[in-house]
A and B are shown apart, each in its own frame.
Chain A
Amino acid sequence: MTNNSPNTSTLTISPLVTNKRSRDYFQTPPNLLGQHGIGQQPQPHSRVFSSPNVGKSVNSKLSTLASKDDDDEVPLTQADKLRLWRHDALMQHHYNTAIYIGDKVLSLTNDPNDAFWLAQVHYANGNYQIARDLLAGPNFEESVSCRYLAGLCLIKLEKYDEALDVVGEVNPFKTDHSVKNADGGIKLEASMCYLRGLTYSKQNNFDRAKECYKEAVLVDVKCFEAFNELINNHLMSPDEEWELLSVLNFDDADNNNELVKLLYTTRLNKYKNVQSFEEAEQRLKDEYNLDENLDILLSRADLLFIQCRFQQCLDLCEKIIQRDELNLSVLPNYLSCLHELGGKNRLFLMAHKLAENYPNHHITWLAIGIYYFSIKKTNEARVFFSRASMINPNFGPAWIGFSHTFAAEGEHEQAISAYATASRLFPGIHLPNLFLGMQYLQMNNLTLSHEYLMSSYSICPTDPLLLNELGVLFYRRTQLAKAEMYFQKALTAATALDSNAKAWSSIHCNLGHVYRRLNMLDKSLSHFNKVLRISRKDVNIYSAIGLLHLKMGKISKAIETLHIALSIQPNDPIALDLLNKGLESNLHISNKKFLDEAVSQKAVLQTPINKPTRHLKFIGEDNKRDLDLIAEDLKRGEDSSDDDDEVMEIESE
C-alpha cells in the first residue's frame, strides 16, 4: 500500500500512527511520548489524542526516517517531533503555532502528508483559499488525501467546477473497490465520492448527487455523511432506500457491523417496513442499551409523525428537547406538531428561543414562519419561509411552508411553481407531488393532477391523504368505482396507521358521497354518520345526510337534519333548497299520511310523522328538478372534500 491509496483513511498518515511502534493497543498521546518513550500502556485519561492502532507505517519515507526495526525504541527524528508539535497545536486550536511549525515541517520534508496537515490547519482556521493554494502544487496532486482536502476547500469557496476537476466527475478508483480498509477510518475514496455528490447537489444536479452519495456509502458504509445527505434530503424513494440498505456492506465497520446496520435502519423512511424499524429499535434498546439515546428517540418521533400521531410525537419531542434544548434535528417535527395541535403559544416561545441562539440558522426562520402561519398571517409567514430557504436552499420544510402560504390564499399558480421547486429538490418524498396534484385538482386541471398524483403514488402508495386525493380525482372524472377503490384504500391505510380518526373524517365524507352517487344509500349514510361522530359541525355533511334521508323517504328526518345544517350556516343555498324540497314533500306525502292516520285513530299516541314514508313517486315526478339539485349538490360535495383537503394539506406538512 502507498500513501496514495484511496482505500485508507487519514488515520494512516497521522503523525501519531506513523510514529508508532506498537500495533496492539492504543497510542499514547504525543506529549507523553517524549517523557516515557513509546509503547507504553494506554493512558485512559488522555484518550482524546489517541487513535486506533491498526495500519502499519505506510509512508516509506517516514518509516526510513523513523526506524528500520519496528520493535526497537527509536528516538524520534526532528521532523517527527515537529509533526507532533504541529498536531498538538492543531488539536488545541493554536493555529498560529500549527501554521508556523507545519510550514517548517513542510519545508523540511516536502512530504504531501505534511502539506495535507498544514492545509488542514488552514482549513480549520477558515482560510480555504490558502489551503487550496497550498495543495494546488503538482507535487501533491498525487496524494489522495490532498486531493480530497483540495476539493473540500473548493466547495467551501463555491468553485464547484474546479472542485469536480479535482475530485473527478466520476469515481477514478472504481476498480480497487473491494479492498477492505484496514485502519478503521473512513475510506478516502468514499469521502471523495461524498464530495462529488456534494458538488453535484450544489449544482442542483440531484440525480448525479444521489448516485455519488450512494456510491460513497457503498464504498464505505462508515461514510455517514453521505448516508445522512441521502436520507435527510429525501433523495431516494422509499423503495430505493430500503434496497440500498440491503446491499450495503457493513463489514467495513468490523465488529460494529450489526450496530451500524441497526442504526442505519432506524434512519430510513418510515413509509414502509415499519416492522423492521421496530425490530431494529428494539434490538438497539435491548442489546446496545441505547433506549435513551436521542437519535433513537428522534427516529421514533419521525415514525409517530408519519403516522399522524401528533400528540404522542409532540410528547416525545418535548422529552428530547428537555434533555437537549437546542437539538436542531427534532425541531421540524416539533414545530409541525405544534402547528397541528394549535400550540401557538409554544411556537412563539420556541421561535424566540431559536432567534436568540441561532439567529442565522434556517430552522429559526422556519419556526417563525410556522408561527405566523399558525396565527394565519400568511404574508409574514411567507417572508420568513422564504428567508429560511434563502439561507439553506435545500431545506425542504421551508419550501413546502412557502408554497403552503400561496395555497392558503388560493394563489394556485405561485403555489404550483413553489411546490415544483420543492419537488425538484426532494425527489424522494411524495409530498410536493401530492400538493402539486392537489393544486391542479383545485384548478380543475384533471390531467395534470392525475399525472402528479400518480407520480406521488409511485413513491408512497400508502399515504391516506394521497389516496383520498386520488379518490377525489376519479370522483371528479365520475369514475365512481375507481374513486371508491381509492377511498377504501385510503381508509384501510388510515386505519393501518392507526392515526387520529379526526384527520381522516374527510375520507368517510368522500366515501359517503361516492356511495350516494352509486345509490347505495345505507352505506352512504353510515359513512356520513361516522363523519359526524368524529368531526366538527359541517353544514355540507348535514345537507348530504338530509338529501339521503329525502331519497330514502324519511322526510321528517331529512327536515330535521337540514334544520341542523341551517342552524350552522343559516344561508347555505344547498341546505335551503333541500329543505324547501323536504317541506314540499312533507306537504304532499307526510301530511296526508299524518292526517289519514290521525283521522282513522281515536287517540293518537303515536307520531306517524317520524315513520318513513314509502311513497317515493314524488322524486320521480319531480325528476328534473331533483337531478338539477343533485348535480348542484354534487358540485358542492366536492367542494366540501376540497375544503377538507385544505385542512389536511396543512396537516400533512
Chain B
Amino acid sequence: MDFDQQLQLRFALTESAKTLQLLSLHHGAKWSSEALNGLVPLTNDQKFAVYQQSLQRSPPSFLPAKGQNDFLEFTENERLLMATSYFNFKEFDRCAHVLKDCSSSKCVFLKLYAMYLSGEKTKCDETGGVLGQQDGKIQNTKLTQISKELEQYTKTSGKGRLDDPFLLYLNGLVAAKLKDNTLAQECFYQSLTIYPFNWSCWSELIANLASFSEALAILNRFTKNARFIDNKLFHVMLLFFKVTISQEFFQQFNELYDDLTYLLEIFPKFSYLKIQKALISYNALDYVSAEDIFDDVLASDPLRLDDMDTYSNILYVMENKSKLAFLAQFAAQIDNFRPETCCILANYYSLKFDHQKAIMYYKRALALNRNCLSAWTLMGHEFVELKNSHAAIESYRRAVDTNNKDFRAWYGLGQAYEVLDMHLYSLYYYQRACALKPLDKRMWQAVGNCSEKLGEYEDSIKAYKKALSVSSDIDHAIFYKLANLHQSIKDTKNAAVYMKMCLDEEPNDGITAETSKARLWLAKYELERQNWQAAYDYSSQMTHGTSNEIEEARAIAREARVNLNRGS
C-alpha cells in the first residue's frame, strides 16, 4: 500500500471515528480511532506536508453524499447536540423525546438508537438477576416501534428503500433481535456496502453469522461487490472481516496468514490485529505464541482490559497459575467492575477449584454485560464441576443464544444432556459442535458415542472413522470402540481387524485397559476359529487387567495349549 493510499486510509478512519462518535456508536468509534493510531506513524516532514495540504483543501469524505438532507441536518443540528449530550448521560428516553419530530437521517438514527438502548435497558432492569426467573423471557418492547418508524421514514424519504448506512445498521440490529437473521444480514451487508468504516456494523454482522457456510456466502458477496474490488480502502476493511471470521470459525485459510501479515504491515501497532493473531494461534492450540502476543499487547498498552479475559482463558488452559494470579491482580487494580476483570478473576478461582466463587464472578460479569460471550459458557463448565446439570444447561443455552458459534457451549450442552441420559438431545448438540469444529476428533467421538447409545451402530462407526481421519495422532481407544461396534453389528471380521489395530498401538501408548481387553477378545476369537497357536499367544501375553480377565485368559491359554498338544 503506497503512501498516498495510507494517507487516504488515515482520512477515512479519522472521519469514521468522528462520525461514529457523533452518532454515539462508541464501539465503532473506539475501533476506528485505535486503528487510526495503529497505523505506521508519519514522520515529522510528512506530518507537516499533510498539514499544509489540509489547509488548502478539506480531506476527502467517504460518507454518502448528503443531498437535500444537508439543510435539514443543519436546521436540526442544535437539537442533535442536545440529544447527544443526553444520550451520553444515558438519558435515552429523554434523548429520543427531544428528537421526536426531527427528520434528518442523523437525528432519526440517534432517536431510534436511543429508543433501542432504552428498551434494552428496561429489559435488563426487568430481567432481574442472572439466571433468575424472568431471565431470557423479556423482550425489548421498543423493537416493533422502531421498525415501524423505520418503515415510516423509508416511506417519507420517497426513495422506496433505506439508503442511509446507519439506519440500515439499526434496522439490522432490530431484525437480529427479532431473530430474523436473513434480513439482519442483508441490512448489515447493504450498510457496509455504502459505508464500510463502521466496525460496529461489521462486528454485528459477524455475531449474526451462524455457520461458516453463511460466512463464506457473505464473504463471496463482498468480494464480488464492485465497490470492494475497486477501492483499496474498502478492501482493507474487508480483509479485517475475513481475518476475523476465519478466526471465529476456526478455519485456517491458506491466505489467512498472508492477509494478516499484509494488515499488520499497514497497522503495525493495532492491538485488535495482534489479538486476532493471538486467537488464531490459540485456536491452533499454539498456546505459547498466543501468550507471547498477549504479553506484547499488554506491554504496549498496559491499561487495556479488552480481550484480557481471553488471555486468562489461555493461561487457564496452560495452567499457568502464577501468571493468571498476576493478571487477576493487575486487572482488579485497573477496574474491579469490568466484565473482563470479573471473568479473569473467575478463571483464577476456577483454577483454584473454588467453583462457587468462580460462578459468583461470572454472574457479576454477566450482570455488568449480559452479552459477555465466554462467561456463559465458562459458567456452564463451573456448574458441571458442581454437578448441577440443569443450571449448566441453562447457562450453556444462554451462551449459544448470545453466540451460536461457540462450539464449547454446544459441546457442553451435549455433555450435560448425556449426564441426564438424554442422548437424543445430546446428539443434536454434538452435531452442532461438530459442524462448528469439524477438525476436532473429540466432537466426532462424541457423536459416535451418542449414536451408539441410541443404537445406531453404523452411524456410530462412521463417526468414529471420521474421528480417526481428522486427527494425526492415533488413539487406540477409538480402535477398540470401532471393534466393539463392528461386533455389535455382527461384523466379526472387521471387529478383529480393529482389535488388532488397537493392540498394535500398545508399544506406543503402553498397556491400557483397552489393549488388554482387545487382547483377551482376540484370544477368544482365535480360540473359536481354532487357531490354537494364535489364541495361545494372545492369552499368554495377558498380563494386565482385572483378575477375572486374567483368569479367563489363563483358561483360554490352557485350552489352546491342550488343543495344540493334541494337534502336535
A residues lining the B interface (CB < 8 Å):
501-502, 529, 532-537, 559, 563-564, 567-568, 580, 583-584, 586-587, 590-592, 594-596, 598-599, 603-610
Q: Is the CB of A532 within 8 A of B431?
A: no
Q: Is the CB of B179 within 8 A of A609?
A: no
CB-CB under 8 A from A567, the residues of chain B are 136, 397, 401
CB-CB under 8 A from B456, the residues of chain A are 587, 591
> Given known contacts A567-B401, A595-B466, A599-B466, is B213 in contact with A605 (CB within 8 Å)?
yes
Q: Is the CB of B465 within 8 A of A533?
A: no
CB distance from A606 to the nearest CB of B (A): 5
Of the candidate stretches B86-94, B113-121, B420-428, the one touching chain A is: B420-428
CB distance from A535 to the nearest CB of B (A): 8
CB distance from A542 to the nearest CB of B (A): 10
Does B451 count as interface, using CB distance less than 8 angstroms? yes
Complex alpha-carbon distance, A605 and B253, angstroms: 11
Does B186 count as interface, using CB distance less than 8 angstroms? no
| A interface majority secondary structure | helix
Please tell me which one of the listed residues B179, B213, B425 contacts residue A564 in the complex, with CB atoms under 8 A apart: B179
| B interface majority secondary structure | helix
Kindly list the 4 A-B residue pairs having the minimum CB-CB distance in the complex, ordered from nearest. A604-B438, A607-B435, A595-B462, A583-B424
User: Looking across the interface, which residue of chain A has its beta carbon closest to that of B436?
Assistant: A607
Complex alpha-carbon distance, A559 and B428, angstroms: 9
CB-CB under 8 A from B136, the residues of chain A are 567
Please tell me which one of the listed residues B210, B425, B444, B451 contacts residue A591 in the complex, with CB atoms under 8 A apart: B451
Does B289 count as interface, using CB distance less than 8 angstroms? no
Q: Is the CB of A599 within 8 A of B462?
A: yes
Complex alpha-carbon distance, A594 and B435, angstroms: 9
Please tell me which one of the listed residues B144, B447, B465 contacts residue A534 in the complex, with CB atoms under 8 A apart: B144
Q: Is the CB of A599 within 8 A of B251?
A: no
* A-B contact sample (17 more), CB < 8 A, given A533-B147, A583-B424, A583-B427: A501-B144, A501-B148, A533-B178, A533-B180, A537-B139, A567-B136, A587-B424, A591-B427, A592-B459, A595-B466, A598-B434, A599-B465, A603-B438, A607-B213, A608-B435, A609-B431, A610-B435
CB distance from A327 to the nearest CB of B (A): 26
Does B137 count as interface, using CB distance less than 8 angstroms? yes
In B449-502, the 8 Å CB interface with A consists of: 451, 454, 456, 459, 462-463, 465-466, 469
Please tell me which one of the listed residues A501, A587, A603 contacts residue B454 in the complex, with CB atoms under 8 A apart: A587
Interface pairs (15), CB distance under 8 Å: A501-B144, A532-B180, A533-B147, A559-B428, A591-B427, A591-B447, A598-B466, A599-B462, A599-B465, A599-B469, A603-B439, A605-B212, A607-B212, A607-B435, A610-B210
Indicate with 1 or 0, residue by residue over B396-432, a CB within 8 angstroms of chain A CB atoms.
Answer: 0100010000000000000000000000110110011
Complex alpha-carbon distance, A599 and B211, angstroms: 20
Q: Is the CB of A605 within 8 A of B465?
A: no
CB distance from B519 to the nearest CB of A (A): 29
CB-CB under 8 A from B147, the residues of chain A are 533
Complex alpha-carbon distance, A596 and B216, angstroms: 22
CB distance from B229 to the nearest CB of A (A): 24
Please tell me which one of the listed residues B210, B428, B435 contacts residue A586 in the complex, with CB atoms under 8 A apart: B428
Complex alpha-carbon distance, A533 and B427, angstroms: 31
Indicate with 1 or 0, residue by residue over B17-29, a CB within 8 angstroms of chain A CB atoms.
Answer: 0000000000000
Please tell me which one of the listed residues A532, A591, A596 contacts residue B178 in the complex, with CB atoms under 8 A apart: A532
CB distance from A170 to the nearest CB of B (A): 56
CB distance from A195 to the nearest CB of B (A): 51
> Given known contacts A502-B144, A595-B466, A606-B213, is B432 in contact with A536 (CB within 8 Å)?
no
Complex alpha-carbon distance, A563 and B401, angstroms: 10
> Given known contacts A568-B137, A587-B454, A587-B456, is B144 in contact with A594 (CB within 8 Å)?
no
User: Looking across the interface, which residue of chain B has its beta carbon closest to that of A605?
Assistant: B212
Complex alpha-carbon distance, A559 and B179, angstroms: 15
CB-CB under 8 A from A564, the residues of chain B are 179
CB-CB under 8 A from B179, the residues of chain A are 532, 564
Indicate with 1 or 0, residue by residue over B124-147, a CB within 8 angstroms of chain A CB atoms.
Answer: 000000000000110100001001
Complex alpha-carbon distance, A587 and B455, angstroms: 10
Q: Is the CB of B424 within 8 A of A584?
A: yes
CB distance from B86 to the nearest CB of A (A): 23
CB-CB under 8 A from B438, the residues of chain A are 598, 603-605
Complex alpha-carbon distance, A580 and B179, angstroms: 23
Q: Is the CB of A583 within 8 A of B428?
A: yes
Complex alpha-carbon distance, A592 and B432, angstroms: 14
Complex alpha-carbon distance, A269 and B432, angstroms: 59
User: Looking across the interface, which residue of chain A has its beta carbon closest to that of B425?
Assistant: A583
CB distance from B389 to the nearest CB of A (A): 15
CB-CB under 8 A from B251, the residues of chain A are 605
Complex alpha-carbon distance, A559 and B435, angstroms: 15
User: Looking across the interface, which residue of chain A has its beta carbon closest to that of B210?
Assistant: A610
Please tell me which one of the listed residues A501, A580, A609 contacts residue B424 in the complex, with CB atoms under 8 A apart: A580
Q: Is the CB of B462 within 8 A of A596?
A: yes
Complex alpha-carbon distance, A603 and B469, angstroms: 10
CB distance from B453 to the nearest CB of A (A): 11
CB-CB under 8 A from B401, the residues of chain A are 567
Most chain-A Cβ atoms within 10 A of its Cβ — which of B431, B456, B469?
B431
Q: Is the CB of A587 within 8 A of B427?
A: yes
In B291-317, the 8 Å CB interface with A consists of: none
Q: Is the CB of A595 within 8 A of B427?
A: no
Indicate with 1 or 0, residue by residue over B236-263, a CB within 8 angstroms of chain A CB atoms.
Answer: 0000000000000001000000000000
User: Looking across the interface, which residue of chain A has its beta carbon closest to that of B437?
Assistant: A604
In B164-198, the 8 Å CB interface with A consists of: 178-180
CB distance from A625 to the nearest CB of B (A): 15
Complex alpha-carbon distance, A583 and B425, angstroms: 7
User: Looking across the interface, which residue of chain B has its beta carbon closest to that of A583?
Assistant: B424
CB distance from B59 to the nearest CB of A (A): 41
Complex alpha-carbon distance, A217 and B241, angstroms: 76
Most chain-B Cβ atoms within 10 A of its Cβ — which of A529, A534, A559, A591?
A591
Q: Is the CB of A609 within 8 A of B435?
A: yes
Q: Is the CB of A586 within 8 A of B139?
A: no
CB-CB under 8 A from B213, the residues of chain A are 605-607, 610
Q: Is the CB of A607 within 8 A of B211?
A: yes
